[in-house]
Structure 1
Amino acid sequence: MSLPDITKHVGELACQKDSYLKSIVTKVVRCEKVVPAATNGKKKKGAAPESEKKDAWEVELLDTVIFPEGGGQLHDTGSLTPTIPDATAVHVSNCQRRLLSCIHTTSAPLDPSTEVRVNVDWPRRFDNMQQHSGQHLVSAVLDLPPYQLETLSWGMNATEAYVEIGRKLSEEELQALEDRCNELIREDLKVVVHTSNRVDDQGNLPADYDPEKGTVRVVCIGDLDRNPCCGTHVSKTSQLNAISILYTTPSRGLNTKINFVVGDRVRRTAKQSVGRLRKLGNKLSSQIDEITDKVDKLMDDKKDTEKREKTWRQLAARFEAEKARAALASHGKAFIHASEGGIPHLSEIAAEIGEARDTGVVLLVCGDDTNENDGGPVMVTGEESKVKELAAEVQKALPDVRGGGKARWQGKVGKWWPGDVEKLRKLVEGDAHDDNHHEAGDQTQKRLDKPSKSKMQPRFCIFHDAIVPFTLDP
């Protein structure tokens, strides 16, 4: 059987004339290798490395059952197989409209005039049809009383779809919307596609689609809705099975997006959601209906823990600051190392040291160098000229440190290596760390032994998760 050599334009494709057609035989009109776009040396976020990128080709056919992305609907995928014995199928990963042409992205080249069988990935296609027809139904109901809300935009992805409207709906309005859509699904309304020459049907066409050379298609749902659309649709509302509104999200200005699923996605979403809830319930040792209360209690416990942690961190900061002040008083410089806490903890220690650092210099380090670990912050604070000098020594000792500042220099170590912290300690304390440590300890003990003017000295002691005040009688 000979095939006509007239290329069908978008609007007259086989997939648009019959959404349920899964396969046709046609010919290759054009095939060109895809030339990667110039990146100017900049790598796009999430892009595959150059070594992993595969060659691709753009193929144009006389006709196709693979729908090109458009009208908010995702593109189809499928395959092209030459009609010769033992031919290998060529995968179609993408399909896009270019003006009036339909362009297939393939994994291998095909010679022009080659006869091929085009097969569409039917599960993906039917899912797209359900979501798209479902969107028409949701928008049609929103357009009528009591809502009378225009659909400003819509979209879909692999898991859900949305329509954007001009205001937020109440929970009662959302439930009524879902109920009405499902009533119309059960009414089994016919979904019919017509072609149109009416000027008012051309208002929503893409700017690069020429209606005089192309074809304007209008989708009708019974007497309920009439809307220009290039997509593929179910033949009656009963094939949507069900619509479930999942949640809403705020959008531009006062606009709201209503997120929903249609058809087989309702079943899959319900199954996945219950599965996740059961797993979460098992982790929390609770039934599904108890999860919310259990999480509320965990959040309250977390807040209490954070409060206690803040108190402990403040006490630790005061203790470290006291050691630093003693070192500054005797040597004019001090070294502080904290294994955790980050910049907030180092800043808290620096604040506690106070004016004692104004004529000296303090090096504060946070991280664990006992093994090869992720890096951490480094801070140098004090008199500006001394800060500049010590910061330069820090960068010389650890070349990968990056930072800046004057009276307070702040940097970050990309990765801690064993011995790094000791290198920084020696910049301040030299090789006499042990002697200095004992001397600072003796000074601290003398201050503890020195009688106070008050009769009692308040102290704090930390026992696991409690902070207990007590006093020492001098």
Structure 2
Amino acid sequence: LFCFSHHIPSSGILVLHQGTSQLVSATAADVLSWCRELGRQRSVIELDTPSVTAEQVEALERSLNEKIRDRVPVTVRELAADDPEIETVRSRGLPDDHVGPVRVVDIKGIDSNMCCGTHVSNLSDLQVIKLLGVEKGKKNKTNLVFLAGNRVLKSIEQSHSTEKALTSLLKNGPGEHVEAVKRLQSSVKLLQKVQEWLRKVGCHYFLYTFSWGFCFFLKCFFIHPYRKEGDSEFMNIIANEIGTEETLLFLTVGDEKEAGLFLLAGPVEAVENLGPRVAELLGGKGAGKRGRFQGKAAKMSRRGEVQALLQEFISHQNPGA
């Protein structure tokens, strides 16, 4: 008896893949366990072994397709539960509540197997079997992944379409695709490092250019760099450079009137008190911890109201200011 799991395909595909599963199981009977999976795109048989070599997979695939070319007949018969011949059938064992005859599927000269599924009448109906390789399974098990019949053709068609698209995008032949992608990945990593360096340089230049405009005596800065491409990291770098242990900093990036990002940084107690109110004024949402409250704003045009809120807070903290 087989154990089925995952998605069950349409009846025609199911017939083909049940036949394939029995053939593969029989051909590799010395290593196969009793459980298989019939998936929408591919199928899996669980091997009762911790590892399988590429040479073994290749030899198994060659043997399977030879049997398909031999057009071996597949027949179904029913035996009584107490028939001695059942002892010669692979995958012996019936549920305790089983009643009636036992269904046995025979692949002539190859296998006799108890099975309740639907099968092909001839191995040539399987057309072709392609073993895609093995994957790590449960403890001391290996999953053998395979395709059969039209799924092999569809897989080739899909691979060819992908290959054509990559050839067009990468401007080289299929044999050079992997190396081209590796070069692109290296270039992206380098560009990310350069971008990070330029971001830090830009932040330092921004601080140097505008530092004389800060109200140091109020210990409160209101900054909008007018950079739509600014991000949270950009704001945090500026906050780190200014220092916010004793300074309240309100920083925004993005559109001047509509959507953008904001950061409120400063003494922990002040930020915990003011952060949610700032987010509410800006029509946005945010979160924070350890003296940083940041989020997304929908109404950047109300930055002036936030500034008034913060100035009022500062005036209460410094009555003489």
Structure 1: how far apart are the matches of 2:14 and 2:192?
Answer: 47
Structure 1: how far apart are the matches of 2:34 and 2:19?
Answer: 17
Tell me whether 306-315 or 160-169 shows the greater mean CA deviation. Answer: 160-169
Match of 2:102 in 1: 216
Match of 2:123 in 1: 237
Structure 1: how far apart are the matches of 2:257 and 2:154?
Answer: 48
Which of 280, 300, 307 is the aligned partner of 1:428? 307
Which of 56, 60, 70 is the aligned partner of 1:187? 70
Contact 1:73 1:132 in 2 (8 A): no
Q: 1:230 to 1:347 in 2, by over 3 A?
A: farther
Match of 2:218 in 1: 331
| Aligned pairs, number | 300
Structure 2: how far apart are the matches of 1:324 and 1:401?
Answer: 29
Match of 2:16 in 1: 130
Cα deviation for residue 311 of structure 1 reads: 1.1
Match of 1:396 in 2: 280
Q: 1:366 to 1:284 in 2, by over 3 A?
A: same
Structure 2: how far apart are the matches of 1:369 and 1:139?
Answer: 67
Greater helix share, structure number:
2
Stretches of structure 1 lacking an aligned partner (at least 5 in a row): 1-69, 77-123, 433-474
Alignment of 1:258-277 (within 5 A): 258-277=144-163
Match of 2:168 in 1: 282
Contact 1:74 1:128 in 2 (8 A): no
Structure 2: how far apart are the matches of 1:341 and 1:173?
Answer: 55
Cα deviation for residue 280 of structure 1 reads: 2.0
Cα deviation for residue 391 of structure 1 reads: 0.8
Contact 2:200 2:237 in 1 (8 A): yes
Structure 1: how far apart are the matches of 2:127 and 2:24?
Answer: 14
Which of 28, 31, 44 is the aligned partner of 1:162? 44
The one-letter code matched in structure 2 to 1:154 is: R
- Residue-by-residue CA offset, 1:378-414 (whole Å, 9 max, x unaligned): 432211232123313313303441424352234x33x
TM-score normalised to the size of structure 2?
0.78
Greater strand share, structure number:
1
The one-letter code matched in structure 2 to 1:190 is: P
- Residue-by-residue CA offset, 1:196-215 (whole Å, 9 max, x unaligned): 4158778666x7x9312x55
Structure with the bigger RCO (C-alpha within 8 Å, sep 6+) is: 2
Structure 2: how far apart are the matches of 1:188 and 1:259?
Answer: 23
Alignment of 1:46-445 (within 5 A): 71-72=4-5, 124-144=10-30, 149-151=31-33, 153-165=35-47, 166-196=49-79, 197=81, 210-212=97-99, 215-253=101-139, 255-320=141-206, 323=210, 327=214, 329-337=216-224, 339-340=228-229, 342-353=231-242, 356-368=243-255, 378-410=262-294, 412-413=295-296, 417=298, 420-424=299-303, 426-428=305-307
Q: 1:396 to 1:74 in 2, by over 3 A?
A: closer
Percent identity reads 24
Tell me whether 227-236 or 328-337 shows the greater mean CA deviation. Answer: 328-337
Q: 1:298 to 1:427 in 2, by over 3 A?
A: same
Cα deviation for residue 183 of structure 1 reads: 1.7
The one-letter code matched in structure 1 to 2:60 is: L
Structure 1: how far apart are the matches of 2:93 and 2:293?
Answer: 58
Structure 1: how far apart are the matches of 2:51 and 2:231?
Answer: 42
Tell me whether 273-282 or 283-292 shows the greater mean CA deviation. Answer: 283-292
Structure 2: how far apart are the matches of 1:227 and 1:170?
Answer: 27
Structure 2: how far apart are the matches of 1:317 and 1:220?
Answer: 75
Cα deviation for residue 260 of structure 1 reads: 1.5
Cα RMSD over matched residues?
3.5
3-state SS of 1:238 partner: helix
Structure 1: how far apart are the matches of 2:137 and 2:223?
Answer: 48
- Residue-by-residue CA offset, 1:51-83 (whole Å, 9 max, x unaligned): xxxxxxxxxxxxxxxxxxx8459657xxxxxxx
